[in-house]
Structure 1
Amino acid sequence: MTRPLRVDAQRNRRRVLDAARAAFSRDGVTASLDDIARAAGVGPGTLYRHFPTRDRLVRAVIDDGLIGIHDLGMELLAAPDLAQALEAWLNAYVEQGSMFTGLAETLVNPLAESDELDSCRRAREAGSALIARAVREGVLRPDVRADDVLDMVAAVTWVGEQPNRQLGQRERLLTLLVTGLRAGAGSLDSE
């Protein structure tokens, strides 16, 4: 059984994750770990104690972001304006999926045999619950399926990863997607 981290160790871990997220967003996953430690206000030893390898740090940043997406989805389930809540969640999901090249594919196909990206499945479950509520309450078309929406959002994320894309294209695509999902936008023929 793993002992819970002391309060100061939790704080240091959080600071390293926040600094790493900023550095990876800015410089990619090859950002200097020493620079990350410095930005977090900790020594390299503290960084390596929490994250012995770069890969563990990258995975922790991804996991942390996806847990945040899950928590946001659960919080938004109680939002009075469900259309606005769903759009906020989808934007956050796309933003997280766009953080690293290749993450969009993982959002579509989380590793079944790995607990390391269990947060990916949890994020999708929160989104599915939000989408299901929107369908039940008539905000979205009755033929909308959560898996289809999440796959389309991952596709929007993937398009955003491609070189030479126009500025704001990802946002335009997401707006088109959400508009097409709304109740009254028509429906697909039955399968």
Structure 2
Amino acid sequence: MSPTTAARPRRADAARNRELLLRAAHAAFTERGVTASLDDVARAAGVGPGTLYRHFPTRDALVLAVIDDGLTDIHRLGTELLAAGDPLGAVREWLRAYIEQGAIYKGLAATLASPPSPADGAASTCDQARKAGAALIVRAVEKGVLRADVDPDDLLDMAAAITWVGEQPDRDPARCRRLLDVFVDGLRAPVS
């Protein structure tokens, strides 16, 4: 990569605008969910829509940037759990954290179920978090505690579905934990 094509540091005003957009998006997502108006987000940040889209070309890119720290924590948790003595317990603990992250904002489950492609820079922490969970799932299959036909993407989709159930009005907050337990227990490898 030549010096002219290397990534340049962000200008101070661009970095400030990005931070203002992230704060405004967090406030909007907290109040109205991830389908909040992006024009309202830009207005609350004191910038125009063009500035928002220069920083975040898609809604999902903005959503993932807002939850970046949480996704990083989930990746870290998955990496740490690879050393756990109980592979099934590790999968359950990681999925519980993933579901809790997905419940931060109403509508976030859909973004986690279909994150932007890894080519989009904003998708990198989501992709890393999902890969950490997939590694735990593969390990549990290899150890013979999860069924051999378990696909990591299927489990992640079910985690997003459980999160969606928890978003529904008048649901018992403990329901997601119960659904996760039933789901994971149903994936146990048959005892021979």
TM bin (shorter chain): 0.5 to 0.7
Within 1, Cα distance between the matches of 2:170 and 2:191?
Answer: 31
Cα 1:71–1:2 change in 2 (3 A) is: farther
Trace 1:92-171 onto structure 2 (pairs within 5 A): 92-112=97-117, 114-171=120-177
Structure 1 residue 80 corresponds to structure 2 residue 108: no
Name structure 2 gaps, 5 residues minimum. 1-6, 11-18, 37-50, 57-61
Q: Which runs of 4+ in 1 moved over 3 A?
A: 1-4, 23-30, 55-61
Within 2, Cα distance between the matches of 1:160 and 1:3?
Answer: 41
C-alpha contact 1:83 1:139 (8 A) present in aligned 2: yes
Report the TM-score, using the length of structure 2 for normalisation.
Answer: 0.67
Aligned residue among 42, 66, 70 for 1:65: 70
Within 2, Cα distance between the matches of 1:25 and 1:170?
Answer: 21
Structure 1 residue 166, shift from structure 2 partner: 2.4
Superposed CA offset, 1:121-175 (max 9, x none): 1111111110000000011111111111111111101111111222311111111
Structure 1 residue 174 corresponds to structure 2 residue 171: no
SS of the residue corresponding to residue 118 of structure 1 reads helix
Partner of 2:4: none
Within 1, Cα distance between the matches of 2:32 and 2:191?
Answer: 39
SS of the residue corresponding to residue 105 of structure 2 reads coil
Q: Which has the higher contact order (CA 8 A, sep 6+)?
A: 2
Q: Quote the RMSD (CA, aligned, Å).
A: 3.6
Structure 1 residue 114, shift from structure 2 partner: 2.2
Within 1, Cα distance between the matches of 2:161 and 2:121?
Answer: 24
Partner of 1:38: none
C-alpha contact 1:141 1:185 (8 A) present in aligned 2: no
Within 2, Cα distance between the matches of 1:185 and 1:127?
Answer: 24
Structure 1 residue 60, shift from structure 2 partner: 3.6
Report the TM-score, using the length of structure 1 for normalisation.
Answer: 0.68
Counterpart AA for 2:128: R
Partner of 1:44: none
Q: Please identify, of 58-67 and 143-152, the stretch whose mean Cα deviation from structure 2 is larger.
A: 58-67
Structure 1 residue 26, shift from structure 2 partner: 7.1
Name structure 1 gaps, 5 residues minimum. 5-12, 31-51, 187-191
Within 2, Cα distance between the matches of 1:25 and 1:179?
Answer: 33
> How many pairs were matched up?
162
